[in-house]
């Protein structure tokens, strides 16, 4: 086989692997970022539950302070009631006492409501914290895996790039330039030629070119897609069964030919 052709076939394999690994390395941080985003949602849920509990406790403390205030007022009104001069004054004070008592009762109702919602908030917090814990462990595992995979890929890439450099220096400049151009445009630059067709674009190859390709001794490009073509004898169609030499002009030719299997029609362009 032509050494340039051989190297270009190898170079394409290396280039494809380099592309695959480079894409993988680029995709890994995105995957980690997606996982971390999910983790941030769980963290936010925990923070929200904690804030709700804090609010609940602050509201309760406020209500308890309010109750204390009303209780102090009641004590004050009761002590004033012993020194009032008129019934009207006394009634007014008792009215204030009753109002303060109603307020206390209202505060106590609210405290009860808060205690019930605190139970729910604490349940939410526990659930969110458990989810965060599971998720955090998963994230650490995934991140560690991504780190290992990236390191492996980078190592492999370094080896492949070195191999790539070696292969490229060995190839004729114009063949390499053609390879690079097609590679850039089509993401593949080499194609097998089989059954007189380019296996990348499936366009028929002219018989003379086909004969050239079959030798694998020249750089031949597909007239349609531009890819560099090679021939793999292992993929050649099995030869037709051997025929007896047809005695074309003999009278026996006809019956003999009928016994033979019909010859496969091979495309001729």
Between CA 182 and CA 200 the distance in angstroms is 12
Instruction: Evaluate whether 143 touches 151 at the Cβ level (below 8 Å).
Output: no
C-alpha 6/C-alpha 226 separation (Å) is: 17
Does the footprint of Zn ion cover residue 167 (CB under 5 A)? no
d(CA 133, CA 149) in angstroms, rounded, equals 24
193 binds Zn ion (CB under 5 A): no
Shortest Cβ distance from residue 229 to Zn ion (Å)? 7
Q: Considering only 9-17, 72-80, 123-131, 192-200, which stretch makes contact with Zn ion by CB under 5 A?
A: 192-200
Q: How far is the CB of 180 from Zn ion (least distance, A)?
A: 17
- Tell me, by CB under 5 A, how many residues bind Zn ion: 6
Q: Which is nearer to Zn ion, 56 or 191 (CB)?
A: 191
User: Which of 9, 84, 201, 257 is close enough to bind Zn ion by CB under 5 A?
Assistant: 201
Q: Give least dist CB 139 to Zn ion, A.
A: 47
Q: Is residue 74 within 8 Å of residue 101, measured between CB atoms?
A: yes
Q: Nearer Cβ to Zn ion, position 219 or 222?
A: 222
Q: Between 125 and 225, name the residue whose CB sits nearer to Zn ion.
A: 225
Of the pair 104, 205, the CB lying nearest Zn ion is at 205
Contacts of 63 (CB under 8 A, 6+ apart): 107, 110, 111, 114
Nearest-angstrom CA–CA distance, 239 and 5: 26
If the CB atoms of residues 171 and 220 are measured against Zn ion, the closer one turns out to be 220
Nearer to Zn ion, 11 or 200 (CB): 200
Instruction: Please say which residue, 175 or 201, places its beta carbon nearer to Zn ion.
Output: 201
- Shortest Å distance, C-beta 197 to Zn ion: 8
Q: How far is CA 215 from CA 2, 149, 165, 170, in A?
A: 9, 42, 27, 21
| Least Å from the CB of residue 267 to Zn ion | 16
> What is the 3-class SS of 134-183, one letter each residue?
HHHHHHHHHHHHHHHHHHHHHHHHHHHHHHHHHHHHCCCHHHHHHHHHHH
Nearer to Zn ion, 25 or 198 (CB): 198
Q: What is the bridge-based pairing of β-strands 190-194 and 228-231?
A: parallel
Q: Where are the beta strands (DSSP E) in the chain?
A: 190-194, 197-198, 220-221, 228-231
Q: Between 209 and 248, how does the x/- string for binding to Zn ion read (CB under 5 A)? A: -------------x-xx-----------------------
- The interface region with Zn ion, picked from 107-115, 126-134, 135-143, 201-209 by CB under 5 A, is 201-209
198 interacts with Zn ion by CB under 5 A: yes
Q: Residue 163 CB, nearest distance to Zn ion (Å)? A: 26
Walk across the sheet containing 220-221 and list its strands: 197-198, 190-194, 228-231, 220-221
What does the binding site for Zn ion look like in residue numbers (CB under 5 A)? 198, 200-201, 222, 224-225
């Amino acid at each position: 086989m032509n050494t340039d052709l051989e190297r270009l076939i190898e170079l394409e394999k290396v280039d494809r692997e380099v592309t695959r690994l480079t894409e993988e390395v680029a995709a890994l941080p995105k995957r980690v970022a997606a996982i971390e985003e999910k983790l941030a949602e769980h963290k936010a849920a925990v923070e929200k539950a904690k804030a709700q509990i804090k609010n609940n406790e602050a509201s309760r403390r406020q209500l308890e302070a309010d109750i204390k205030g009303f209780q102090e007022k009641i004590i004050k009104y009761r002590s004033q009631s012993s020194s009032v001069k008129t019934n009207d004054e006394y009634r007014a004070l008792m009215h204030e006492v009753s109002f303060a008592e109603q307020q206390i009762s209202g505060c106590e109702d609210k405290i009860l409501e808060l205690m019930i919602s605190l139970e729910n908030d604490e349940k939410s917090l526990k659930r969110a914290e458990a989810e965060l814990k599971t998720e955090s462990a998963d994230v650490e595992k995934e991140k560690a895996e991504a780190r290992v995979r990236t390191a492996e890929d980078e190592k492999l890439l370094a080896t492949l790039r070195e191999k790539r450099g070696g292969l490229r220096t060995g190839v004729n400049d114009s063949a390499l330039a053609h390879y690079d151009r097609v590679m850039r445009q089509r993401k593949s630059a080499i194609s097998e030629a089989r059954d007189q067709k380019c296996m990348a674009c499936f366009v028929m190859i002219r018989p003379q070119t086909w004969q050239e390709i079959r030798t694998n001794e020249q750089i031949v490009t597909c007239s349609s897609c531009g890819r560099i073509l090679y021939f793999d004898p292992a993929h050649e169609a099995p030869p037709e069964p051997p025929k007896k030499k047809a005695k074309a002009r003999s009278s026996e030719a006809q019956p003999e030919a009928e016994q033979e299997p019909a010859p496969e029609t091979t495309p001729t362009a």
